[in-house]
Amino acid sequence: MRVVGYVRESADPSVGRSAFGQQEEIRRHSNEQGHQLVALCQDLRSPGQPPSRDGYISLLGVIAAGGVEAVLVPGVATFSSDAIVQEIILWDLRERGVRVVSTEQADLQLLDPLAAPEPSRMLIRDVLERVGEHTGGVGPERAGTSNPPADGDVLVRIIQADTHEQKRVGQTDDH
């Protein structure tokens, strides 16, 4: 399986493992399981700065480029220490068509799509599934709009109203 690894140092240097230790864990796990590690993205701690997500954004770019089937992490807590944030990230990655694989044995049941998670995670997953259903029905892809330009400008698309709408608007303008 082709995988992309993701590591993230904790904002608190006294907590968690170093990026190097996490990378080695991912490399070892990839070799043991016969996975092909195609990229390794990392978010490093910068003294005096808020935690960055540049590595995670790079991870999403690797996924969007295609050719990977899974994201390999040294534990689901790598994404965040908060269970809600973990579930949002897991949901997002699944929506992007990749599996999440952890080197930690304790995460196996959490990442198993057929296993029932604890009640709080089940609620979070249910809410996220409903959000996905909603945005799938009314999101920008369905409406035919495009994403705004990256330079911060606003794109306005002028569309022609159908004949019925033009008549209705014309009637209200006359009165």
- The C-alpha atoms of residue 133 and residue 96 are separated, in whole angstroms, by 15
Name, of 34-48, 63-77, 131-145, the range with top average pLDDT.
63-77
- The strand pairing partners of 99, in sequence order, are 70
CATH topology classification for 2-116: Rossmann fold (3.40.50)
pLDDT at 142 over 60: no
Show me where the domains of the chain are located. 2-116
Pairwise CA distance, residues 9 & 140, whole Å: 34
Q: What is the pLDDT of residues 40-66, one digit of tens each?
A: 999 887 777 777 788 999 999 999 999
d(CA 111, CA 73): 12
* H runs (alpha helix) in 3-118: 19-33, 54-65, 83-95, 108-111
Prediction pTM value: 0.69
CA-based torsion, 133, 87, 31, 12: positive or negative: positive
